[in-house]
Amino acid sequence: AVEDGPADDLVRALEGLQVTAVADAPADTSTARTLRVDSGEQAVELTLIAGDELHWLKSSAWSPWFTISRYDHDRIADSLEALLASEAAGEEKSDEDSGGETAETEPATASEGPPSP
């Protein structure tokens, strides 16, 4: 079973996106946050900008800017933050195997009886 991770949360946030309108590029891009998301099949760059009234989203997968709701902006931003944090945590751990120690650890068993009330 594959565990859901921050990338899955981001995909869900994007799938449920309510795109308000196709918009011109925002005048102020100083607050733009961009993250590259590699799904294995393709890499996509997402750019989010929070404005005073409008919020924008742009992806390298499509050309125009879209305006999105504050709710969608916040969901995507939270997912991006979680993804960045998990990638940073993954980079802190060495990519090299540490002698296969992780393979020797026994999996925790959940068959030790029902949880106590």
List, for residues 10-51, the tens digit of each pLDDT value: 777 777 777 665 667 788 888 888 888 776 777 888 888 888
4: confidence class by pLDDT, cuts 50, 70, 90: low
Domain boundaries, the chain: 6-84
Q: What is the 3-state secondary structure (H, E, C) of the chain?
A: CCCCCHHHHHHHHHHCCCEEEEECCCCCCCCCEEEEEECCCCEEEEEEEECCCCEEEEECCCCCEEEECHHHHHHHHHHHHHHHHHHHHHHHCCCCCCCCHHHHCCCCCCCCCCCCC
